[in-house]
Amino acid sequence: QVQLVESGGGLVQAGGSLRLSCAASGRTISGYAMGWLRQAPGKEREFVGAISGRSGNTYYADSVKGRFAISRDNAKNTVYLQMNSLTPEDTAVYYCAANSVVSLKSSDYVHWGQGTQVTVSS
Q: 65-114: per-residue pLDDT in tens?
A: 999 999 999 999 999 999 999 999 999 999 999 999 999 999 999 999 99
Confidence category of residue 120, pLDDT binned at 50, 70, 90: very high
Beta strands in 14-91 (DSSP E): 18-25, 33-39, 46-51, 58-60, 68-73, 78-83
Strand order of the sheet with strand 18-25? 3-7, 18-25, 78-83, 68-73
- Residue 46 phi, psi (nearest 5): -125, 150
- Residue 30 phi, psi (nearest 5): -60, -30
Residue 53 confidence (pLDDT): 87
The bridge status of strand 58-60 relative to strand 46-51 is antiparallel
Confidence category of residue 58, pLDDT binned at 50, 70, 90: very high
- Tell me the three state secondary structure of residue 17: coil
Residue 1 confidence (pLDDT): 83
- pLDDT, the chain, mean: 95
The amino acid at residue 17 is: S
Confidence category of residue 54, pLDDT binned at 50, 70, 90: confident
